[in-house]
Amino acid sequence: MTTTGTRGRSTRFAALIIASAAAVALTACGSTAKSAAPSNPLAPSTTAAKGSITIGSNNFAESNILADIYGAALTAQGFKVSYKYNIGSREVSYGLLRSGEVQLMPEYNGALLSYLKPNPPAAPTSTADTDTQLTAALASGLEVLDPSPAQDKDSLTVNAATAAKYHLTSSSSIADLKPIAKDLTIGAAPEFQTREQGLLGLKTVYGLTFAGFKALDPGGPLTEGALKNNNIQVGDIFTTDSSITTNHWVTLDDPQNLFGFQNVVPVGQTSALTPAAVSALNAVSAKLTTSALLQLDTEVSVDGKDPETVATAWLQSAGLG
């Protein structure tokens, strides 16, 4: 069993990766439209005093937001920051990280571990175990910093009507579905039916047997539409999907960690990660929660706000200015 859940980060954005494959030569360079350090009211008057760092991001909004958060935090501490946005697939972004063309990337520990070790000898049992295995799998010269509590991973999410009917709240867990699962229909990607991180695990780990299953898509518009229209009452939705906020859905806690570990972590070149950089980035990780990341994603994808503006505002609100 891998650590990426039913689909994993790379599968979630497979369409984007395929679309960019024809332009690998271009994506290898990334987007440098904002190559200068972002305008940041938290930044001191003197920049580059502590060095220069190039931060990369993969080609989806959340990765760009995280890159901007890391960049603003480093700029505030006197680093000169440049960016390579929307690099593309992990094959390309990890290659740039190894070569040193990019010195820092926001990553997901479970997904990166699965990329580096598709068939690990044992599935990680905790965030710390995931990071230990990831550290061992990384190329020489790279390191993982502190993981954040924020995770972007598969979840069981119920729609507003179901939450109200059965008194489910943000404090509820998957285990709370045991007495009512027989009355609920769940929707997810077809492979969810036969995977341990799917119906099999939900039965063996949580004792859940649902009234029915609808084969839809991997957390995309089909699953979201079915959940919104109550064609399903439970859906496999990523924990930071903005549809959760806009539709007032409730994501259930996974206390047994059936869906693995997908903590947001900074991964970078050891040579660029000075003590000052490590301190600034670990401070970000200490404050970044799943609910905070969900809110940031919603502000960008739903409200149309600029990722850099959202990142800087969050740093201020977190007391990291």
Give the tens place of pLDDT for each residue, 131-156: 999 999 999 999 999 999 999 999 99
Residue 117 belongs to domain spanning:
8-151+261-317
Please check whether residues 122 and 146 belong to one and the same domain: yes
Residue 182 lies in a domain: yes
Single-letter residue type at 208: L
202 and 102 in a single domain? The answer is no
Q: Do 73 and 177 belong to one domain?
A: no
Are 189 and 278 members of one domain?
no
90 within a domain of the structure (yes/no): yes
In a domain, 1, yes or no: no
What are the pLDDT digits (tens) for 69-113?
999 999 999 999 999 999 988 999 999 999 999 999 999 999 999
Number of domains in the chain: 2
What's residue 121's pLDDT?
83
**Does one domain contain both 70 and 135?**
yes
- The enclosing domain of 146 has a CATH number of 3.40.190.10
| Same domain? 142 vs 287 | yes
Are 180 and 108 part of one and the same domain?
no
Burial class (CB in 10 A: 0-12, 13-18, 19+), 18: exposed
Q: Which of 221, 251, 281 is the last residue of a domain?
A: 251
- The domain boundary residue, chosen from 251, 272, 297: 251
Establish if 58 belongs to a structural domain. yes
Please give the chain's pLDDT, 321 residues, in tens. Answer: 333 343 344 444 443 333 333 333 333 344 444 433 344 444 443 444 689 999 999 999 999 999 999 999 999 999 999 999 999 889 999 999 999 999 999 999 999 999 999 888 888 999 999 999 999 999 999 999 999 999 999 999 999 999 999 999 999 999 999 999 999 999 999 999 999 999 999 999 999 999 999 999 988 999 999 999 999 999 999 999 999 999 999 999 999 999 999 999 999 999 999 999 999 999 999 999 999 999 999 999 999 999 999 999 999 999 997
**Residue at which a domain ends, from 232, 251, 270:** 251
Question: Exposed e or buried b for every residue in 105-116, given b needs 16+ CB within 10 A?
Answer: bbbbbbbbbbbb
Residue 207 and residue 280 in one domain: no
Residues 190 and 171 in one domain: yes
Is 142 part of any domain? Answer: yes
Domain annotation covers residue 209: yes
Are residues 84 and 144 part of one domain?
A: yes
Is the Cβ–Cβ distance between 160 and 248 less than 8 Å?
yes
* Residue 247 resides in a domain: yes
* Domain match, 144 and 230 both: no
Same structural domain for residues 14 and 87?
yes
Q: How confident is the model at residue 10, as a pLDDT?
A: 43
CA 192, 196, 198, 203 torsion-angle sign: positive
Residue 198 covered by a domain: yes
CB 289 within 8 A of CB 148: yes
The CATH number of the domain holding residue 168 is 3.40.190.120
